[in-house]
Amino acid sequence: MSSDDKARIETLRAELHEHNYRYYVLDDPSIPDAEYDRLMAELRALEARHPEWVTPDSPTQRVGGAPLEGFATVEHRIPMLSLDNAFDEADVNAWYKRITDRLQTRDPLIFACEPKLDGMAISLRYENGAFVRAATRGDGTTGEDITSNVRTIHAVPLRLRSDRPPAVLEVRGEIIMPRAAFEALNERARARGEKVFVNPRNAAAGSLRQLDPRVAAERKLDVYVYALGEVEGWTVPDTHFDTLQALGELGFRINPHIRREEGVQGCLDYYREMGELRDQLPYDIDGVVYKVDRFDLQQKLGFVSRAPRWAIAHKFPAQEELTVLEDVDFQVGRTGKITPVARLRPVFVGGVTVSNATLHNMDEIRRLDVRIGDTVIVRRAGDVIPQVVSVVKERRPADARIIRMPEHCPECGSDIIQLEGEADARCSGGLFCPAQRKEAIKHFASRKAMDIEGLGDKLIETLVDKGLVETAADLYALKFEQLVSLERMGPKSAQNILDAIVASRETTLPRFIYALGIREVGEATARALAEHFRTLDAIETADRDALMQVPDVGPVVAGHVESFFRQPHNREILDKLLDAGIHWPDIEVAEPVAESPFLGKTVVLTGSLSQLTRDQARSLLQQAGAKVTGSVSAKTDLVVAGEKAGSKLAKAEQLGIPVMDENTFIDQIREAGLALPGT
């Protein structure tokens, strides 16, 4: 057994050295913290069983990894040590008993309790009040000089707020990346097709190890200080808590959740409170830290070789864990978006057992290079949907399978389409697909579409949930008895809704096209399609090239329209709607005014008009022979600007495009012989 233990010790040391290198030097961890903690705990247990085999280079005998090449090294005159961990209340109680026994007291001790920030430990050195150096922890005795990067962090004071500053003041703290900055950083990386960071801690470390300080400056890092290092010429208070308050007065950022607690029960109460608050904080914490508050008691307790006896980190349940991706399903969202969902071997992470995680879209799957059968790191932070964040490729099995997007919607069988330049794939069966049913009907009945008064969102959800309505066409088959049987639905309300449904049969072609809910076809595009093709049949049979002849219809919108009308399910619902009696008058397009100053021009409307609605102004421009578009570009000939015109006006001025105010616009409309509405 001894030879087996020795072999296992050597294996564990080699693995932990490799993980230290990947984490501290390459900023590319391959396993989550929880797995690292387990390996370290196993090694410590074996070394405790065989103390004769403990060597100075064992990972248990040092704090971190070697400094990264490219930065000058800094020797810490007072070592930056790590903390022992407690993973449950039993560990905390055992630690409390050890320190009270060592102090030979049964009186409750006072502790300074702090959130354990999940970032990168830092040492900040000030001489005569001026900031002179920042160094990483490194291996605890030697770190890296990252002064230029840290100087870009606004929370780091460049000069202490004191008329008589200490000759030397070294403070220790944690540099973090707030969650909002982390999400923004990864969003920019995804947009550029670059590697994203696994978590904010990794992002903070990677930012500080950039050789160009401008990169760190862009990443919105933050810092909180929580301890002292070397001090000369400053009277240190008697307690840790009072010291932090004094540092706050000198201009350092102190975490607002630090407070004193009495006894072990006070510590545990603090742990539970911070656990409840954890998800609401703007930054990540992975536990809390308890420190004996009085410095004289800290000195009596002393240190072990790598950690103080007077402090301990009480860890929260891990937010990252290893597991196996066993399969991938594809789910259809309420707008038709197809989302790949990882089916995982169940794993306890973030306080719950996780068996599913989002993979976002196929671009994310390709970026991760994840396959069915892979060992993956899954992350769950509070109420955030669990997600696969990276793959441990060293553990990839030979039979791992590539993930492929299905061709047909798993809910309705319609084609799945993904247009060029779009990250998300979508089901094209918008009128028929059960997954999109409620949203499709809500849109169909909305005021700017079919305008069915009284048919609100909650009623639609009830009708769908009770199986009375499956598609928009079923609205026109509803019976009085069905409506009046619903909860809180009286006879008068039921009849009013039926009357509104009957009234909606008389509509316009632009409204009907808009009501169909075709992706990216808004009111203006629906009107342009109707006026260009004149009939629904012509729109249904138009190919992409024909659709792109419509003003403001580019290749993306043309693709959506063509795909929608190509689906047999959608056409079936269209036939049912027309059979239900929906109709509209023929479209008459007036010939443009020959002498109009707007003839042949591309015009953009922006801001609020006082004498006309936006629709009325658009109609007048179209009668005058103009093409009305929604965005300003180099092809725009004129911008008509009302009150509170914003970005469109600014862009027009930037491009040198003529701008016309409302009064001038109305004068020219009248000169063209067109009458304003109501005159």
Instruction: Find out whether 661 and 641 touch, Cβ atoms under 8 Å.
Output: yes
Strands, sheet with 602-606, edge to edge from the N-terminal-most edge strand: 627-629, 602-606, 638-641, 659-661
Q: Please say if 448 is a catalytic residue.
A: no
Interhelix angle 33-49/2-20, rounded to 10 degrees, is 140
Query: Which tokens sit at 661?
Result: 């105010």
Neighbours of 220 (CB within 10 A): 17
Would you list the DSSP string of 123-177? EEEEETTEEEEEEE-TTSSEEEB-HHHHTT-TTS-SB-S-SS--SEEEEEEEEE-
Q: Is 51 helix (H, G, I), strand (E, B) or coil?
A: helix
- Residue type, position 640, single letter: V
Query: Which tokens sit at 414?
Result: 């319609």
* DSSP E strand stretches across 273-384: 285-292, 311-315, 320-332, 337-349, 352-358, 375-379
Strands 320-332 and 416-417: unpaired
Query: Which tokens sit at 210?
Result: 């950039």
Catalytic residue among 6, 97, 116, 337: 116
All residues at 6 or more sequence positions from 210 whose CB lies less than 8 Å from its CB, including other chains:
149, 216
Q: State the virtual CA torsion across 479, 482, 487, 488 in degrees, nearest 10.
A: 20
Q: List own/partner pairs for 610-619 with CB under 8 A and 24 or more apart.
A: 610/642, 610/643, 610/662, 611/662, 611/666, 611/676, 612/662, 612/666, 612/676, 612/677, 616/676, 616/677, 617/665, 618/524
All residues at 6 or more sequence positions from 425 whose CB lies less than 8 Å from its CB, including other chains:
337, 338, 361, 362, 405, 416, 417, 418
| Spatial CA neighbour of 577 closest among 526, 519, 504 | 504
- Residue type, position 595, single letter: E
Q: Is 46 helix (H, G, I), strand (E, B) or coil?
A: helix
In eight-state DSSP terms, residue 23 is I
Would you list the DSSP string of 252-292? ----TT-EEEEHHHHHHHHHHHHHHHGGGSSS-EEEEEEEE
Nearest-angstrom CA–CA distance, 99 and 301: 7
All residues at 6 or more sequence positions from 106 whose CB lies less than 8 Å from its CB, including other chains:
100
Would you list the DSSP string of 487-500? TT--HHHHHHHHHH
**Which residues are part of the catalytic machinery?**
116
